[in-house]
Amino acid sequence: MSIDILNVTKRFKTFTALDAVNLHIPGGQLVALLGPSGSGKTTLLRIIAGLDWPDSGEVRFDGQDALARSVRERNVGFVFQHYALFRHMNVFENVAFGLRVRKGADKLPEAAIREKVNQLLSLVQIDWLADRRPNQLSGGQRQRVALARALAISPRILLLDEPFGALDAKVRKELRRWLRNLHEELPVTSVLVTHDQEEALELADTVVVMGKGRIEQVGSPQEVYDAPATAFVHDFIGESLSLPARVSGGRLHVGAGETALDPQGVEDGPVRILARPHDVDFAEPDAAPVRGRVLAVRTFGPTRRADIVLGDGDIVEAAVPPGIHPAVGAQIGLVPRRYRVFPTA
C-alpha cells in the first residue's frame, strides 16, 4: 500500500514540528525517516498512524484519504519506541489483543485466534515465551512481542518508532537483519523512524533525511551518502571534514589565500567545503590549498585521525593516510580530493 504525504504541517504551540512536508512512499518499500531529535520524524510517523493530526495537508493510503479515518480504522501496525506492551497480560494475550477486540462479523472464533497467535509467535521466534509477562522478558524479546502484536491485525502498513533504540548493540544488529528479512516475507509497506544513520543506511530501500521539520533529501542509502543534497545531510550522514571558506570573484578562498579548488558554481559569499575525512590527502604545507598545525594524532584500530588546527583557529579532524606519520606540532597541508561546496546559511 503506497503512502502519500501532501503538504503536511504540524505545530505544537510555537514549535513547528513539520513544515509543509511532501513525501511519496511506494508500496512494499522499507523506508527510514532519519534525522536528529526534534527533526519531526516521529511526528510524521504518528500522523501516518493517526495518533496525531496535522494542522493542514493530506495523508493518502493508495490514493484514498486516510485522515478521514481514525487510528482504529486505519489498520496500521505500530511498534512503539518503548514497546508499550500491555503489562498485565502475558505474551500470548498481548499478541491476541488486536483479534480479541474485534466486533461483529470480523470477530474470529477462539480456535482461529489461538492458531493465528501461535503462528505469529513462531514467526518472531518466541513461541516458547507465550506465558511470560512483559516484565519477565529481555529488551529483544519485548521488541519481538511488540512486532508480533502489531502484525496480528494483518496491517498493510507497518510503522516502527525507533525500534532498536533501547537495545544493546549486538542484539540490535541481529534484529535489524531479521526485520529486513521479515519485511521481505510480508506484503507490507514499512516506515521506520531512527536517529541512527547506520541503521537507516543498512536497512532501508529509501532513506528520508529530515531536519527541523523539513525533508532535506530522499534517496537510496548510496545516494544520500555519496551525493548529499545539502550541507545538513553531509554533516548528518557519515563523517565530515568541514573547512570554512569564502567564494569571491568565482574563486574559492580558504583563510588568507586563494585556492585552485572548484567553487562548484556557488555564488560569492561565505561557504563551507565539506569532505569525507578519507577523501582528504596530506601534502607539503606550501603545495596545499589548506594549511594547519597537527595538534594530536589518535589511533583506533586500523584508522588514525589527526586533529589539525587551521590558521584561523578552527580545528578539523582528518584521516591520516597509511604510510604518513605526521609529528605533533608540525605544519601540514590538506588537499581535498572529493568535496562539496555549500553556501553558509
Binding residues for another protein (CB under 8 A): 49-51, 70-72, 75-78, 80, 82, 84-88, 97-98, 100-103, 125, 129, 132, 135-138, 140-141, 149-150, 152-153, 170-171, 173-175
Nearest approach, Cβ of residue 171 and another protein (Å): 6
Per the listing, cell 500522523 goes with 47
Question: Do residues 285 and 249 lie in contact, with contact meaning Cβ atoms separated by under 8 Å?
Answer: no
Task: Kindly tell me which of 301 and 313 has the beta carbon lying closer to another protein.
Answer: 301
Task: Kindly tell me which of 76 and 182 has the beta carbon lying closer to another protein.
Answer: 76
Nearest approach, Cβ of residue 301 and another protein (Å): 12
Task: Kindly tell me which of 132 and 212 has the beta carbon lying closer to another protein.
Answer: 132
Nearest approach, Cβ of residue 157 and another protein (Å): 11
Buried b (16+ CB within 10 A) or exposed e, 235-258: bbbbebbbbebbbeeeebbbbeee
Nearest approach, Cβ of residue 344 and another protein (Å): 39
Nearest approach, Cβ of residue 138 and another protein (Å): 5
Task: Kindly tell me which of 129 and 231 has the beta carbon lying closer to another protein.
Answer: 129
Task: Kindly tell me which of 152 and 335 has the beta carbon lying closer to another protein.
Answer: 152
Nearest approach, Cβ of residue 188 and another protein (Å): 15
CB count, 10 Å around CB of 321? 11
Residue 265 DSSP symbol? T
Whole-number Å distance between alpha carbons of 126 and 91:
9
Task: Kindly tell me which of 76 and 274 has the beta carbon lying closer to another protein.
Answer: 76
Which helix or strand (DSSP H or E) is residue 119 part of?
Answer: helix 110-123
Question: Do residues 78 and 23 lie in contact, with contact meaning Cβ atoms separated by under 8 Å?
Answer: no
Nearest approach, Cβ of residue 246 and another protein (Å): 42
Task: Kindly tell me which of 103 and 325 has the beta carbon lying closer to another protein.
Answer: 103
Strand ranges (DSSP E) for the chain? 3-12, 15-25, 30-34, 56-61, 64-65, 76-79, 157-161, 189-194, 206-211, 214-219, 241-248, 251-254, 257-258, 269-275, 280-283, 290-300, 303-310, 315-319, 331-336, 340-343
Whole-number Å distance between alpha carbons of 160 and 213:
19
